[in-house]
Structure 1
Amino acid sequence: MKIGSPARDTEVVRRARAVLAEAREDPALLLSVLTDLTEAHERTLARAGITGPAHGQPVDPLQAAKEMIAQQQLEIQELKRELAAQTRRLNQSADAQHKELVFERAKLERLVRLGIAMASERDETRLLSLILEGAMELTNADGATFYLMTEEEDALEFQIIRNRSLNISMASTPDESLPFPNVHLFDLQTGVPNEKNVVSKAVLLRQTFNIPDAYNAGDFDFAGTKKFDEANGYRSVSFLTVPLIPRGGSVIGALQLINATNSETGEVIPFDGELQGFVEALAAQGAVTIENQKLLHSQRELIDAIIELTASAIDAKSPYTGGHCNRVPEIAMMLGQAAHDAKRGPFADFGFADDEEWREFRIAAWLHDCGKVTTPEYVVDKATKLETIYNRIHEIRTRFEVIHRELTVDYLSRKVKELGGDPAPDAELMAEYDRLQADFDVVADCNVGGEFLDQEKIDRIREIAKRTWTRNFDNRKGLSQDEHLRLKGIQGRPPPAVENLLADKPTHVVTRDPGDIERFKTSGFKMDIPKNLTNLGEIYNLTIQRGTLTEEERFKINEHIIQTIIMLETMPFPKNMQRVPEYAGGHHETMDGKGYPRRLTREEMSVPSRIMAIADIFEALTASDRPYKKPKPLSESLKILGFMCRDHHIDPDVFQLFLEKQIYLRYAEEYLDPSQIDEVDIEPLLEIAREASATY
C-alpha cells in the first residue's frame, strides 16, 4: 500500500479507532494517534477531488471529502478531550503527590530542627516546652499537657499545660508546681494499676493511645476532662497520649495532645495515624534528651557537692579557719556580678558569657584553698612559736620545774651537811628562784607572737638558753622510726647528762629533698624555697621576730597554693571548666609580679583571678575566728586594702568596684559581727585606687 494514499489514510482512521480504548489511559499513545489523524486529515484536504464507490453509485468527491474531514474532526476532538482529561488527572495526581512529599518533608525537617534544638537546650523547662510545642505543631493540636514521673516513680506530675483556644499557658518551676494533683499509677488504697486514666495506662503499658472522641471512650474515665470542659466552655474531643521512653530505659513521663484541628476549616478531627508516628518519634527523641539532661544535672550536682564537701573539710581541719572556704566565694561572686554588670569603665567589655562560665568561676572560688588539705593543722593553727602538735612551752616549763627542784635539793643537801643549820632558804637561793622565774617569764612572753621582737629580748633568750639541767633518763627510748632516722649519725649522751635549758638540736631539723626544688621550678613556681622542711629548734622558734611562723612554716602555709594548682591541673576538668586552676591559683599573686607562686603581673592575670585575690584578703582581714589576731573593723580592713592597692599588691580597678558598689558593706551586714561595722570614708580610698589605676 502506497504511503500517503487514500487507502492508507483510511487504514490510519481504522487503526486509531481500534486502539482508542487502549490509548485512553496512555497520554503518549493518544498523542501519537492524534498526530497520525492530523496528518491524514491534511492529506485528505490536499486530495479534495478523490471519488469512490458507495452502494454502486458514484460519489461526489467534494461531499466525500467533507464527510471524511468532518468524521476525522470528530475523532480528533474526542481524542483531544481524552488527552486533556488524562492530563488533568495526571496533574492532579502529581499535585497531590507533591503536596504529600512537601508535607512529609516539612514534618521531617521540623523533627530534625526540634532534635537539634533539644540537643542544645540545657534548661529543662524550655526543653519540655520545645517537645510539647513541636508535637502541637506537627499535629495542629489545640491543646497539650506534659507529665514527668515523680522521683518515687509512682505518679505523674503536671509540668506544662497549653491550650490555644482558651489562651492557657502554664508551666511548673523548681520553686512552684502546677496546682493539679498528680496522676497516680496505682490505686493508693488497693495498689491496683490505674488503667482508667489514659495517661497512667499509657505509661504502665508503655503504649500510645489515639482516642477519636473522649466522651465516647468507654475504656477510660474522662470525668475530670468533662468537668474542665464544663467549667471553661470547651469540648475535648480527640486525644493522643504518648509515653516518653528513652531507648532501653524506663518511662520518664508522658505527652498528651488534645483536639487535632483541620488547618483549613478549623474543625476538630481525630489524630492522623501517620502523624502519630512522627509524635512517637519526637517523644522518643525528647525522652532521650530529658534523660541525658537529668544524668548531666545529677553529675553536676554530685561534682558541686564533692567540691563544697572538700572545701568544708578543709575548713573543718581547723576551728580557726572554719568558714573561710565558704565565705570567700560569697565575696567573689558579689564582685564578679558587679564586674559583669558594668556598662562603663574598665569592666565594660568583661562578662561571663553563660551559666557555665559562672559555674567555672564559682567552683574556682570554692577550690581556691584546696591545697590546704596537705598543710598540717599545727602549722595552720600555730598560735605560739613553740607549738607543733602541742605547745612545747609546757615541756620547757617542766625543765624550769626540774631546775627549781635541783636548786632546792642542792640547798637542802648543804644544810644537812652543816648539821643543824637554818632550814629556811637563804638569800642566795631566793635570788636564784627569782631569776629563774624572771627567765621563764621572758620565754613565755616571747612564745606569744607579736608585731616585732626586739634584739634585746632575742639576746635574753640566748642567755637563758645557756642555763643547764640534768637529764637522768635515756632520751633515745620510746621513739618512732622517723625519730630514730633523724638521730642517725648524731652521738648520744647517756644519762646523767647536763643539757641546756633551751637548745637548737640537729634532731629539730628535717631537711628537704633536693628534688623538690627542681620540681617546683620546672612547674613554673618562682617562690623562694627554704632548704629545710621543718626546724623545731627552740631558740630558733622563740626568736621569730614577727608572728609565730618560722621561714619553713610560712613556706608550708604558702605552699598550699602550689598544691592547689598541682591538684587542680591534674584534674580532668571538661572544656568549659579549663580555667578553674587559673582562677583558683592566682589569689596570692600581686599586680607588681612579686607575689607567689608564679610571680605573675597584672597583665598576666585574668579579671576573675584578680577578683579572687581581693575576696581572699578581705575575708582574712575581717574574719573573727583566727587565733593569732583580733577581728578588724571595716574601716581598718579597707585601710589595709588601700595600702595594698597603693603598693600594687591588689588590682586598683577591682578595688574601686569593691568600694563603689559597697560590696564590703553588703558582705559585712551578712557575715560580720555588728561591732566590726563602723563608719567608713571611702573617698580617700577611691582616690588611691584611681591614682594606682592611672599607673597601668
Structure 2
Amino acid sequence: MDKTACDGDITRIRQLNEIGIALSSERDHDALLERIFTSARELTGADAGTLYTVNAEKQQLSFAIVQNDTLNIHLGGLSDPVGDQFPTISLHQADGSPNEHLVVAYTVLNDCTVNIEDAYAAEGFDFSGTRQFDQATGYRSRAFLTVPMHNHEGDVVAVLQLLNKHTADDIDGTFSQADQHIAESLASQAAVAITNQRLIAEMQALFDSFTRVIATAIDAKSAHTGAHCRRVPEATLLLAEATHRSTRPEVVDFHLSDGDRYELKTAAWLHDCGKVVTPHHVMEKSTKLEGLFSRLPMVEARFAAKQQALDAAQLRAELEAYRQSQPFADRERQRFAAQQQQLTDDIAFIRQANTGGEFMHDEDITRLQAIAGKTWQDADGQQQPLLTADELENLCIRRGTLNKNERKIIEGHMTATLDMLNELPFPKHLQRVPEYAGGHHERMNGTGYPKGLTREQLSLPARMMGIADVFEALTAPDRPYKAPMKLSQALTIMGRMVEDNHLDPDLFAVFVEEGVYLDYAREYLADDQFDTVDTASLPGLPATLSV
C-alpha cells in the first residue's frame, strides 16, 4: 500500500472515531439520523443514498432520510420530512414469501451487506423502480452499498444504503472493500447510538407513564378531588411559561429550558403522590359527620325518638285531662308544638351545618353547643345527649369538613410525598423534583407545611406549584362541599392569600397579568364560571400591574 492510500485510511479511521464520539452524545433523534447518514456519505464519497428504519412489528422498511447531491434532494433528518412520496417497503410479499428481490429487504432478511457495482447489470434483484426514477430525473443510479445496522440484541433496526461513489472524474464510481468496511464500522457505531437513544426514550416513556399512573390512581381514589393531579400540572406549566416570557423585573431572570420544563412537569404530576397512604374515609370526607360511615342518620334517629317521646307525652297529658273531665289547656298544646318545632328547626340546622362551607360563625357554634346540651331517653330509659362530644366537635368545624386530627392526617400526605420521592434515585436532570413537589403547601411566611419554609427558602417553581394548586382547588367542579367558584371569586381569595403572605406576590401578578387564569379556564372551567374580573380591584396586586 502506498503512503497516500495509507494516510487516507488513517484519516478515515480518525474521522470514524470522532464520529463515534459525536454520535454517542447526540440526543435529538432526527439530528442523530442526519449525522449518521451524512458521515457515511462523507467517509465513502457517496453522491446519494437512503437511510431506512425497520418496523419489526409491521415487517416494513420506511424511508427516514433521502439525499442526492446531484439532484439537490435532501429529505428527512433535519430537512423537510420524507412524506408519502416514498412508500414503505414490505419485507414479505402478499403470499408470505420473503421479498428478497429488493436489495434493501434482502439485506434485512439475510442480515448481510450487499455491494453492487452496477444496478443495471446486476442479477437477482429487481431495480425496475430505480430505472423509473432515473428515467424521470435523468440520473444514473449505478453502484449500491447496502449495510444493515443492528441493535444490542442483534436485530436489524435500520439499513444504510449508499449510492454512486464520487471519483476524480465523475460520480459513477463503485464502492471498494475499504469503503464497505468503513461503512460497516460506522453502521455498527451508529446502531449502538440509535439503540441507546431508543432505550433512553423508552425508559423515559415508561417513567412518564409511571408518574401518570400514580396520579390517575390518586384521582381515582377520591371522586371528590376528580382530576386534580392531572389539572395541576397544566396550571403549573402555564404559569411557568408565562413567567418565562414575563418582563416583570422581579422574575425577568427566570428562564425555562426543555429540561426545566420536563423536570417541573414531572414534579407537578407527582406533587400529591403521598395521598396513596391517606385513609380513604378521611380523603373522601365530604360532610362533617362522615367517617367510616355517615353519623347523620344516628343523629336524626335521636331527634326522631325525642319527637316521638314528645308526642307520647302530649297524648298522655291529653288523656289525663280527659279522665279528669278537664279541657286540655291551649298553653300546654302550644308548649308541646313549640318543642316539636324547635326539634324540627334544630335538626334542619344540623343538616345544614353538616355540609361544611367556607366559614361558620360564632353564633352557629353557640347554637350547636346548646343543642348538644339537650337530652333524649334511650331504650333503657337513660338520658343521653342529643349530640355526642365527637359529633359536636365535627359539626363545629369552621371551614370545610375536616377536624384538627383529620387535617393533620391530610397534611401528612406531604410528608409521605417527600419520603416517597426522596427514596427514588432521580437522575441528575430530575434532582429538583422532590423540592418542587414538596413545596406547594408551604407559605411565604413560613406557616405552611410540611417543613415550614419561607419564601426565600422556596424556589420559583415550588412557589408556582403552590399557586396552581390553590387555583385548581378553588375552581374545581367536583368538590361536594362547595360549588365551583367563578373566576372573580377565586382570584379575590387568592389575592387575599397574597396579602396574608401565603402565596407569592410576584407570581400572582404574573398569573393575572399574563392571563394564565384565562388560558386555564378556557380549557377546564364550565361556562357559568366565567365572569368579568376587575383586575384593578383585586387584592394582592402591585399598582404597576399591566393587563
- Same structural fold, with TM-score higher than 0.5 when normalized by the shorter chain: yes
Which residue of 206, 209, 226 maps to 1:305? 209
Which residue of 223, 228, 238 maps to 1:324? 228
Retained in 2: the 8 A contact 1:148–1:253?
Answer: yes
Structure 1 stretch 200-209 or stretch 389-398: which is displaced more? Answer: 389-398
Distance in 1 between the 2:435 and 2:82 partners? 38
Distance in 2 between the 1:683 and 1:454 partners? 30
1:117-153 CA-partner distances (Å, limit 9, x unpaired): 2111122111111111111011010111111111514
2:107 aligns with 202
- Percent identity between matched residues is 43
Q: Secondary structure at the match of 2:62?
A: strand
Distance in 2 between the 1:118 and 1:294 partners? 13
Change in 2 beyond 3 A, CA 1:175/1:564 = farther
Change in 2 beyond 3 A, CA 1:627/1:306 = same
Distance in 2 between the 1:642 and 1:615 partners? 13
Distance in 2 between the 1:681 and 1:438 partners? 40
Change in 2 beyond 3 A, CA 1:444/1:640 = closer
Retained in 1: the 8 A contact 2:164–2:171?
Answer: no
2:386 aligns with 501
Which residue of 11, 35, 40 maps to 1:106? 11
Q: Which amino acid aligns with 1:501?
A: L
2:526 aligns with 673
Distance in 1 between the 2:357 and 2:451 partners? 29
Distance in 1 between the 2:499 and 2:414 partners? 24
1:439 aligns with 346
Distance in 2 between the 1:439 and 1:677 partners? 37
Which residue of 259, 272, 288 maps to 1:385? 288
Distance in 1 between the 2:151 and 2:260 partners? 30
1:158 aligns with 63
Which residue of 140, 155, 179 maps to 1:250? 155
Which residue of 454, 461, 469 maps to 1:601? 454
Distance in 2 between the 1:682 and 1:459 partners? 39
Which residue of 175, 182, 189 maps to 1:278? 182
Alignment of 1:304-383 (within 5 A): 304-342=208-246, 345-353=249-257, 355-383=258-286
Change in 2 beyond 3 A, CA 1:207/1:655 = same
1:403 maps to 2:306: yes
Retained in 1: the 8 A contact 2:107–2:114?
Answer: yes
1:290 maps to 2:194: yes
Structure 1 stretch 620-629 or stretch 412-421: which is displaced more? Answer: 412-421
Q: Secondary structure at the match of 2:503?
A: coil
Q: Which amino acid aligns with 1:333?
A: L
**Post-superposition offset of 1:444:** 2.5
1:50 aligns with none
**Post-superposition offset of 1:417:** 8.0
Q: Secondary structure at the match of 1:210?
A: strand
Retained in 2: the 8 A contact 1:238–1:270?
Answer: yes
Distance in 2 between the 1:688 and 1:413 partners? 68
Q: Which amino acid aligns with 2:271?
A: H
1:465-517 CA-partner distances (Å, limit 9, x unpaired): 23333444xxxxxxxxxxxxxxxxxxxxxx5654322112xxxxxxxxxxxxx
Q: Secondary structure at the match of 2:489?
A: helix
1:613 maps to 2:466: yes
2:373 aligns with 466
1:567 maps to 2:470: no
Structure 1 stretch 280-289 or stretch 495-504: which is displaced more? Answer: 495-504
1:152-180 CA-partner distances (Å, limit 9, x unpaired): 14111111111111111111799985432
Change in 2 beyond 3 A, CA 1:176/1:654 = farther
Which stretches in structure 1 are left out of the alignment for 5+ residues?
1-92, 473-494, 505-536
Q: Which amino acid aligns with 1:254?
A: V
Distance in 2 between the 1:464 and 1:688 partners? 44
Q: Which amino acid aligns with 1:631?
A: P
Q: Secondary structure at the match of 1:216?
A: coil
Retained in 2: the 8 A contact 1:158–1:172?
Answer: no
Change in 2 beyond 3 A, CA 1:452/1:679 = closer
Change in 2 beyond 3 A, CA 1:467/1:359 = same
Q: Secondary structure at the match of 2:250?
A: helix
Alignment of 1:42-53 (within 5 A): none
Retained in 1: the 8 A contact 2:246–2:510?
Answer: no
Change in 2 beyond 3 A, CA 1:186/1:445 = closer
**Post-superposition offset of 1:293:** 1.7
1:622 aligns with 475
**Post-superposition offset of 1:280:** 0.6
**Post-superposition offset of 1:416:** 7.5
Change in 2 beyond 3 A, CA 1:389/1:678 = same
Retained in 1: the 8 A contact 2:47–2:69?
Answer: yes
Change in 2 beyond 3 A, CA 1:364/1:197 = same
**Post-superposition offset of 1:430:** 3.8
Q: Secondary structure at the match of 2:100?
A: coil
Change in 2 beyond 3 A, CA 1:438/1:669 = closer
Distance in 1 between the 2:174 and 2:401 partners? 84
Change in 2 beyond 3 A, CA 1:686/1:450 = closer
1:186 aligns with 92
Q: Which amino acid aligns with 2:68?
A: N
Change in 2 beyond 3 A, CA 1:449/1:363 = same
2:395 aligns with 542
Distance in 1 between the 2:419 and 2:428 partners? 18
Retained in 1: the 8 A contact 2:270–2:437?
Answer: yes
1:146 aligns with 51
Change in 2 beyond 3 A, CA 1:411/1:320 = same
Alignment of 1:56-67 (within 5 A): none
**Post-superposition offset of 1:687:** 8.3
Structure 1 stretch 550-559 or stretch 342-351: which is displaced more? Answer: 342-351
1:227-261 CA-partner distances (Å, limit 9, x unpaired): 11111110000000001112442111211000011
Q: Which amino acid aligns with 1:283?
A: A
Q: Secondary structure at the match of 2:53?
A: strand
1:38-64 CA-partner distances (Å, limit 9, x unpaired): xxxxxxxxxxxxxxxxxxxxxxxxxxx
**Post-superposition offset of 1:327:** 1.4
Change in 2 beyond 3 A, CA 1:293/1:380 = same
Q: Secondary structure at the match of 1:345?
A: coil
Structure 1 stretch 253-262 or stretch 634-643: which is displaced more? Answer: 634-643
**Post-superposition offset of 1:418:** 8.6
Retained in 1: the 8 A contact 2:224–2:286?
Answer: no
Q: Which amino acid aligns with 2:384?
A: E
Distance in 2 between the 1:161 and 1:686 partners? 60
Distance in 2 between the 1:210 and 1:439 partners? 95
Retained in 1: the 8 A contact 2:499–2:540?
Answer: no
Which stretches in structure 2 are left out of the alignment for 5+ residues?
none
Change in 2 beyond 3 A, CA 1:459/1:675 = closer
Distance in 1 between the 2:517 and 2:239 partners? 10
Q: Secondary structure at the match of 2:418?
A: helix
**Post-superposition offset of 1:360:** 1.0
Q: Secondary structure at the match of 1:255?
A: strand
Retained in 2: the 8 A contact 1:544–1:550?
Answer: yes
1:45-94 CA-partner distances (Å, limit 9, x unpaired): xxxxxxxxxxxxxxxxxxxxxxxxxxxxxxxxxxxxxxxxxxxxxxxx8x
- Number of aligned residues: 540
Change in 2 beyond 3 A, CA 1:661/1:458 = closer
Q: Secondary structure at the match of 1:148?
A: strand
Change in 2 beyond 3 A, CA 1:226/1:577 = same
Which residue of 356, 379, 402 maps to 1:449? 356
Alignment of 1:66-77 (within 5 A): none
Q: Secondary structure at the match of 1:688?
A: coil
